[in-house]
Amino acid sequence: MIHLFEPWSIENLRLENKIVIPPMCQYSAEHGKMTDWHRIHIGSMLKSGAGLFIVEATAVSPEGRITPYCVGLWNDETQEAMQKMLHSVRKYSSMPIAIQLAHAGRKASTYEPWKAKEQAERAIPPSDPLSWQTIAPSALPYEPEDPIPQAMSSDALERIKRAFVDSALRSEALGFQGIELHMAHGYLFHEFLSPLTNKRDDQYGGSLENRMRFPLEVYQAVKEKISNTIPLWVRISATDWTENGWNLEDSIVFCKALKKHGCPLIHVSTGGLSPQQKIPAGPGFQVYFSQEIRKHASIPTIAVGLIDQAKQAETILACQQADAVAIGRAILANPHWPWIAAEQLNRKIHTAPQYWRGKTNPKADIFKIP
C-alpha cells in the first residue's frame, strides 16, 4: 500500500491524494490586492498534481498584514482582485483550493524578507510612510528595537473577531473549499496563546484556559457564520522552542479544545514567536509534534517541516505520524514535485495533457488520463 497517493477527506472535502501545498507568502500584493504574480504562481501550483492548495496568509484587516505587500481580504476591492485570479486559474484546474486567514499582530508592519535581509532591519521604522501601528495582546515588541505594539482593548478584540468572520464569509463567497485560521508562527493568535507574549490581567491572560479563550472565541464565531459544508481548521505552532514558552503539552490541550468546537484538522508547525528560539532544524524536524498531537488529541494532522523526499513523506504517513504532508520549500523549487513522487512510488497523478510529455523517465506511466 502506498499512502501518499491515497484519497482522503477533510470532512466532506474529498482530496485526490495526501500532498498539501501549504500557505507560502509571496509579498507581491498591491494594497492587499492580488496581482498577476499570484495568477502565475498559483497557476503553476495548481498544475502540480497535489491534493490541496492553500492560499498564502491572507490578512483580515490592513494592519494585520505582515508587510505592506501581503494579500488581504477585508473589502470589496481585495475580494474582487482575488475573484479575478480564481476565475483565471480555475479554468484550467479542478484542484481544491483553501485559504489561510491571518492577522500578524506584533509581527506586522515589516519589510519583505529579501529587503529586510538587505537592510539588516526587520520592522519598518515609524518614520516610514509604509509603516503602521501594530497591535498585540500585550505591549511587548518582537525585537527590543521594534516599535511597541498597542495592547488590545476589549473593543479591539471584538473588531478583530468581526474581521475574521467577515473575511471568512468573503472566502465562502469566493468559492474556497476550506478555510485555515493561522494561529502559528508568532502571529496574533499565537501571541495570545504563549505566556511569553500574553501578559494580560483580564479573562484573556494568565492561565492556559484564559490564554486560549480569544483564539477559541474567534474559531467559534467563524464556525457559526460559515456554511457547514466548508471545513474550518487551524494551523498552530506546537512549541515556541524557548524556555517557559508555549509547548507540546499546551498544544495538546488546545487541540482537544478546538476539537470540541468542531475543528476537523490541525496543521502542525512550530516556532516563530521569539527571536530567542533555538530550532533544531533538519529533515522532518517538526513531524514528531504532528504525531503526538494526532495521538493524544485524537485529531487528524498535516505534518510540515523540511519534508522534501517522496519516501520520507510516505514513511510519515505509513507510521501514522500524520494524515497528510505539506510540501512547501520543495514545491517552490520544483512545482512538479508530486510527479517525481508518483514516479518514485509507482503511482499515477492528474495533470494537464499539455504536460504529459514532461517526465523524468519517458517510459514511466505516471499520468492519469481522464
DSSP 148: P
From the candidates 27, 69, 187, 219, which is the catalytic residue?
187
Helix (H, G, I), strand (E, B) or coil at 58: strand
Nearest Cα to 22, choosing from 303, 318, 230?
Answer: 303
Number of Cβ within a 10 Å radius of residue 13: 17
Contact 35, 84 (CB under 8 A): no
Nearest Cα to 51, choosing from 325, 366, 281, 300?
Answer: 325
Q: Which residues of 174-211 are buried (b: 16+ CB within 10 A; e: fewer)?
A: bebbbbbbbbbbbbbbbbbbbbbbbebeeebbeeeebb
How far apart are the C-alpha atoms of 299 and 279, rounded to whole Å?
A: 25
Strand partners, 267: 235, 302
DSSP 355: G
Contact 21, 327 (CB under 8 A): yes
How far apart are the C-alpha atoms of 368 and 370, rounded to whole Å?
A: 6
Contact 343, 336 (CB under 8 A): no
User: Is 288 a residue of the active site?
Assistant: no
Catalytic annotation, residues? 187
